[in-house]
Amino acid sequence: MMEVSIVETSKKFTGYTVAVGVSLTIFVTTGALGTFGVFLPHIVKDLGFPVAAVAFMATCASTFCFLTNSIMSKVIDRIGPKLTMLIGALLCALHYVIYGSATSLPIIYIGGAMGGISMGLATSAMASIVLTRWFVAKREVVIGTVMATIGFGGSAFAFIAGQSIAAFGWRSAYYIIAAIIAIITVPVILILVKDSPEKIGQLPLGADSAVVVEKKVKEKGVPEAKTPCFWMVYIGMFFIGSLSPSIKFFMTSCWQGYGMDPVVSANYLSLALLLGAVGFPLAGGIAQKIGTRRTLTFLVAVFCLCMLFMYLSSSLNPVYIVLAAVCYALSFPSQHLTSSLTTMEAFGPKAYGRLLGVFHGGAMFSSAFTSLIIGALKDATGSYTPALILLSITAVVSLIFLLIGFKLSPVEKERQLNANANV
């Protein structure tokens, strides 16, 4: 294994410019990908399909996101993060054109599959991999700050979707969002995003040697997959991945089921996502100060409170609605940031690039089943209450698996050895 030679290190550090480019990209892609819950009631009403049947779109999206994340490291090694992210952004725009043209469930599912590939190539997992190449120092804070754009993007696009649907109809709203995605992301990625500091003669911030290697030893499978730690973390990420996407997917539908006006529910979701933008840098800063384990415990506890307030908001009491939005906002990083934090906490930087996509893919895959189950529960019971209970239990179970995984991790074992050596 041979490191890339650094030809020059005196250039102005480009990492912050790359971070801006990544931020703008995921602001658009993740923000746009999070609007399906706003469209869902209109699609169901116009096309006459059951909620569970349309919700199967989320299963298609999450399944293909899982598959994409599983091979992400190989794709990046072959074509680089920049081109990978560009392809993902273009697929994001194209899949909304497909949604806008949909007249049957299979077309919706094809759009969902394409959206899932886009999730894998141009959202939070890719952002984490790019930023890890550029930052050794300040990594948690930078990733957390960049991820904040997911909340801002979700807020902006939820508002755009709601207003566009009201003004032009849901089909035209899809075309409008597709155009916005393409117009913003293509020039941003081409101009601002760079594959790695080594390629332009720089070092990652805080590193004294190259991080990206020129040639990699060809590996079969994932060596860590044979360890109990891997499976504890994977199962924990699998469960925790169902939390944020599932409630965001059904939050507006849940409120509308309680009798709330569709535009008002979209605005409340927009508020929740806007507040959620604060959650990412807050979670990144907290993790750097108190550690990943305590941060995850906090996020799960707040998520369970969100479920409680969602249940209480059935009365349409503005206090409970706002409290649900605030708790969701604070727990929002639980899915997008957790994969980055847990991978680093359990396996450290050496295995980070190889494992992040695997864990993030598992997190996204779980939302495929959860969205389907929530839709079926709603159709069967006529209420979202069983789903809220299920998500609360899932949150606690996910935390237990992750904490066990951390205890079994090679990073923890190395930490214990160092502590014993210092005694």
CATH code of the domain covering residue 256 = 1.20.1250.20
Angstrom CA distances, 385 to 73, 257, 370, 389, stand at 39, 11, 14, 6
The whole-number pLDDT of residue 131 equals 84
Q: Which tens digits make up the pLDDT trace of 224-256?
A: 767 888 889 888 888 877 776 666 667 777 888
pLDDT of residue 34: 75
How distant is the alpha carbon of residue 232 from its chain centre?
20
pLDDT tens readout for residues 355-374: 776 776 666 666 666 766 77
* pLDDT of 8: 45
Asked, for residue 371, whether it belongs to a domain, the answer is: yes
Q: What is the identity of the amino acid at 220?
A: K
| Residue 41 within a domain | yes
Range of the domain at 85: 15-202+221-422
- Residue 209's pLDDT is 62
**Count: domains in the chain:** 1
pLDDT of residue 98: 93
Residues of the chain whose pLDDT is less than 50? 1-10, 214-219
pLDDT score of 3:
43
Residue 423 pLDDT: 57
User: Smallest Cα–Cα separation from 237: which of 325, 144, 342?
Assistant: 342
**pLDDT recorded at residue 6:** 43
216 assigned to some structural domain: no
392 within a domain of the structure (yes/no): yes
Residue 215 lies in a domain: no
Q: Is residue 210 part of a domain?
A: no
> Does 84 reside within a domain?
yes
Give how far Cα 253 sits from Cα of 14, 312, 330, Å: 43, 15, 21
